[in-house]
Structure 1
């Protein structure tokens, strides 16, 4: 792991805990080594940094829509600093898929968002087949993750009483799913979203009783 990455991820973790009361649950579900996909719900543009900070002991990579790299030079630099790589949303980006599979086969961690886009209302969307397809082809475990309590605006986040959390679920192993690659991909994607929904419900119940 690059030392600069680990320091930066740790700093983000600390700042979020200090300013917003950020919490991480079940971090122990993240394997210490080996290729792994962390599959999370998607609410804001800074979700990848938040999930990366939650698992700061492991260097993580993620792809971001190519439009984000041209917002401004600083934001583009920040994305690259935290191991983001471009993906086109115009059709299937085979180059981005190949790069993701290469990272996983090297034993690295990749953060992905099965919904394929942000949920502006916070409602979980149906999964796109991409994450399941990559998991089926690489046979690496998938760790479902649920982001709770984040806001589009950091100012609004500061004013909110709800503390942001990232909750990790139990691993999903692609080799448990049989059939052709498309069938396996669909089944894995559905299982991922079911796990994220379960984490969402568990979080809601715990918050109501907390």
Structure 2
């Protein structure tokens, strides 16, 4: 893990805990090493650094739609600082898929949002099969993550004392399922979706 990344995540973690009462559950489900995908529901633009902070002991990389890289130079720098890489949302971005697989085979952690876009009302959108496809091709586990309490502007969250939380589920491993890659892709994605929805209904963490 790069020193600048370690320092930044410690600062972000401190701010989230101090001002927003940020909570993380089941962090022990994150392996210390080896390529992994963390798959989460998607609520806001600051989900990636928040989940990255929740992962804590691993440096994370994540997709960001290519339109975000042309907003302004500072925002582009910020995205790259937090290890974002471009993905096109028109069709299948083979370049982004190959880059993701390379990161995973190097033993790194990649955050993915199977819904493909933000759910502004916090309701689950349809999950795409890309997570399962990449996990099957790279042969890495997927860690389901449920994110809650961050679907409002930060200042409103602070004033309302809304406490965000991240809950990690049990790993979903490609070798748990039989079949060819494309067959397993759908099965893995379905199991990840089922796990995230189950975490959202678990009242032990509220």
Indicate whether the TM-score tops 0.5. yes
Q: Deviations over 1:51-96 (max 9, x none)?
A: 0011121100001001111222222111100100000001000000
- Kindly tell me the number of residue pairs found equivalent between the two proteins: 206
Matched with 1:56 is 56
CA distance in 1, matches of 2:150, 2:45: 11
Q: Deviations over 1:20-56 (max 9, x none)?
A: 1111111111000000000000000110010001112
Q: Deviations over 1:91-126 (max 9, x none)?
A: 000000000000000000000011111111101122
CA distance in 2, matches of 1:56, 1:90: 32
Matched with 2:121 is 121
Contact 1:38 1:109 in 2 (8 A): yes
- Gap runs ≥5 in structure 2: none
Contact 2:120 2:151 in 1 (8 A): no
TM-score, normalised on structure 1? Answer: 0.95
Any idea what SS the aligned residue of 2:107 has? coil
Where does structure 1 differ by over 3 angstroms across 4 or more consecutive aligned residues? none
- For the aligned residue pairs, the C-alpha RMSD in angstroms reads 1.1
Matched with 1:78 is 78
Matched with 1:180 is 180
Mapped pair 1:103 → 2:103: yes
Matched with 2:190 is 190
TM-score, normalised on structure 2? Answer: 0.97
CA distance in 1, matches of 2:72, 2:156: 23
Contact 2:86 2:96 in 1 (8 A): yes
CA distance in 2, matches of 1:70, 1:30: 33
Any idea what SS the aligned residue of 2:85 has? strand
Any idea what SS the aligned residue of 1:49 has? helix
